[in-house]
Every structure is written in structure tokens, then in C-alpha cells.
Amino acid sequence: MTCSMNGSAALQEPSAPASWRIALPHTAAAVPVARALVRTALTELDHGADCDTAELLTAELVANAIEHAAGDGPIELVVELVPTGCKVEVHDPDPAPPGDLTAPGRIDPDPWQEHGRGLLLIRALSSACGHRPTDSGKAVWFRLPTVPPQRRHA
């Protein structure tokens, strides 16, 4: 696993962006590592984005990449913090787009099935989401806005 950080862990100015990029194994073990990185990034810097939602959506993106991406090459998590919120991307080696990420599916997920609600959660809980091709496959992403200070610890 490799990790690089652009920005200072002792970030003082809210206007300075910070970003993290980490290669994760193409296994289920990547999900808790990705969740921990997002939580650490948001709490250590007292960023103001909703940590619980960011963790949940990150876990969905990473789990989808592990389950649906062709091949067994590593996936990559990119977290970018900006004054207006955060953006999380998961890169995988499969160029195929991720189902119905940006438009509602034609069929509602079966509430009794274990799978099928991840992209619905991402659409419903993020301020924006999408995917884009990359040189090595695709990146699937979501954005969350910062939470107003009066609502953070209520």
C-alpha cells in the first residue's frame, strides 16, 4: 500500500486544499482502510464535512470497485479537501461505467437483497457524483459540502 499527501497535517488556513492518494489492494481489506483514511482526513483537520456520510459513501465506492472491476489490479483512493467540501474518488482498472450512478435506475432495488443500493445511496447522500475515464480505467467520485459549524456537533 502506498500513500502520499499533498498538504500539511497541521493545516491552519481553511482556504488551503489538502489531498491524499493511496493505493489499496483489490480485496475486501481495502474497505476499512479507505473508511479510516477519510475519517482521519476529515477529523484531524477539523474539516467540517460530514464524516459519517463520507465514510459510508467511500465504503460503497471501494466495495463496488472490488466487486465489479475486472482484473485484480490495485484500486486507488483519492481524497481532496477544499473550503467548500470534500471530493472522494476511487480509481479502478475497469473502464466500464458504474451502472446507474448519475441517473435513477429503471428498477428499484429489492429491499430484501443484500446488494443493489450502493449507487442509490451515493446519489441520494452526495451533493454531486459521477465517473470519468482515466488512462488506466475509470474514476468514480462523489462530493460532500461542508456542514455549517452550528450543525456539526448537534
pLDDT tens profile 14-61:
456 789 999 999 999 999 999 999 999 888 766 688 999 999 999 999
For 76-112, how does the pLDDT look when each residue is reduced to its tens digit (9 = 90+)?
Answer: 999 999 888 899 999 999 998 887 665 555 555 555 5
Distance, in Å, from the CA atom of 146 to the CA atom of 81, rounded to the nearest integer, reads 10
- Residue from 25, 33, 108, 106 nearest 65 by CA: 25
Higher pLDDT, 102 or 64: 64
Containing 103, the helix (H) or strand (E) segment is: none
For residue 30, what pLDDT is reported?
Answer: 95
Give the pLDDT score at 103.
Answer: 57
What is the CATH architecture assignment of 18-145?
A: 2-Layer Sandwich (3.30)
Mapping DSSP to helix (H, G, I), strand (E, B) and coil, where does residue 61 land? Answer: helix
Provide the pairing of β-strand 18-24 with 3-6. antiparallel
